[in-house]
A = this chain, B = another copy of it.
Amino acid sequence: MTEIEWTIYLSGEIHTDWREQIISACEAKDLPVNFIGPVTVHEDSDDCGAVILGEEDNPFWRDQKGARMNAIRTRTLMESADLVVVRFGEKYKQWNAAFDAGYAAALNTPYITLHDPALTHALKEVDGAALATAQDPLQVAKIIEYVTTGRLQRR
């Protein structure tokens, strides 16, 4: 059997190192995966529109400029992903993470949610359309290992 290269989009929280944990665990396992995702420098992601195309007085339009510029990246990469991991953290509203989950669901692209059990009830619709719900990045890495290579690490 041939091992296919998977493209995995890491969506959501940008204030903890969950992406790095997944990526380094997968590298240690030498998995056939490419990781992609949004720009994760918070201030760049906020300011990009105003910095490149000019400042705005009105915060609504400033945010539109930035959000739509980020959408060029996120939509294109989301549409090229074989699998999406959506992380919800402790802080912030993180509506963009839920937005990405809905986007993946409508495209029929499989996604995994990653969050603390305390968020279970609030995230029930988002988890309901997920193919797996994990609590810890290393579980996600094991899922990725299993689905891409068929290797199940039993302990």
Residue contact B112 to A126, C-beta cutoff 8 Å: no
Q: Known interface pairs A71-B131, A128-B64, A129-B71. Does A39 touch B146 (Cβ–Cβ under 8 Å)? A: yes
Residue from B37, B53, B133, B147 in contact with A132 in the complex, judged by beta carbons closer than 8 Å: B53
Q: Looking across the interface, which residue of chain B has its beta carbon closest to that of A4?
A: B36
Oligomer copy total = 8
A58: chain B residues within 8 A (beta carbon): 56, 58, 61
Residues of B within 8 A of A106 (CB): 102-107
Q: How far is the CB of A143 from chain B (nearest CB, A)?
A: 6
Residues of chain B with a CB closer than 8 A to A44's CB: 146, 150, 152
- Having A52-B146, A100-B102, one finds 9 other A-B pairs with CB under 8 Å, namely A1-B23, A52-B153, A56-B58, A59-B121, A70-B147, A71-B131, A72-B112, A72-B143, A76-B110
